[in-house]
């Protein structure tokens, strides 16, 4: 083979090598950009979820206040066995009504950020708060007999507390689990 042909073949191999390296570099840079985009999206979604979950928990705080006032009265022993007076009950119904509306708004935000496991638990908290409101309204209307008040109150309080615990557990699971494990 003469030197001219060898030089042309050598230059051709060099050009092909350079083009191949450029293609591999381009593919790797593109893949890295896509991966970084996924990481950024994951961080953003995690932050949005955390913020939505915290807003929901904050919206539920008035429910806790009502529960504490009803179930953990510091008045005379046995005061939880009978309904509070009408003025106190009216105030509690107003507080729980405001909380139910705030929970509804916060729950709608959770609908957007998901996942469905947390959405369903948020709906359960909202439903339990609505049920507590209905119970208190029934007490105000005189539809709850004094002899069943304590047991009915305990049932309503337990439902709210269980729903809150379940929501908290589901939210913690989502926030502490790597995002690539959630398909939603």
Digit-by-digit pLDDT tens for the chain (184 residues) are 677 777 777 777 777 777 777 777 776 767 776 767 676 667 778 889 999 999 999 999 999 888 888 776 555 444 577 888 888 889 989 999 999 999 999 999 999 998 999 999 999 999 999 999 999 999 999 999 888 988 998 899 899 999 999 999 999 999 887 765 554 5
CB 127 within 8 A of CB 162: no
Three-state SS for 61? helix
Q: Tokens at residue 124, please?
A: 């359960």
Q: Tokens at residue 159, please?
A: 């439902």
**Closest C-alpha among 169, 164, 154 to residue 124:** 164
**Closest C-alpha among 126, 66, 107 to residue 90:** 66
Strands (DSSP E) found in the chain: none
Largest CA distance in the chain: 112
């Amino acid at each position: 083979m003469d030197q001219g042909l060898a030089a042309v073949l050598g230059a051709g191999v060099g050009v092909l090598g350079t083009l191949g390296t450029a293609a591999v570099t381009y593919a790797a840079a593109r893949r890295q950009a896509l991966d970084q985009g996924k990481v950024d999206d994951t961080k953003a979604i995690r932050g949005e979820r955390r913020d939505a979950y915290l807003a929901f928990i904050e919206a539920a705080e008035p429910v806790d206040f009502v529960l504490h006032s009803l179930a953990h009265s510091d008045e005379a022993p046995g005061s939880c066995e009978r309904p509070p007076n009408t003025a106190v009950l009216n105030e509690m119904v107003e507080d729980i009504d405001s909380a139910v509306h705030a929970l509804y708004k916060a729950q709608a935000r959770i609908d957007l950020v998901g996942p469905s496991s947390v959405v369903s638990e948020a709906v359960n908290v909202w439903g339990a708060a609505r049920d507590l409101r209905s119970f208190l309204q029934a007490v105000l209307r005189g539809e709850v007999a004094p002899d069943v008040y304590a047991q009915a109150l305990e049932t309503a309080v337990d439902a709210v507390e269980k729903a809150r615990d379940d929501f908290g557990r589901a939210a913690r699971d989502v926030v502490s689990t790597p995002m690539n494990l959630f398909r939603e």
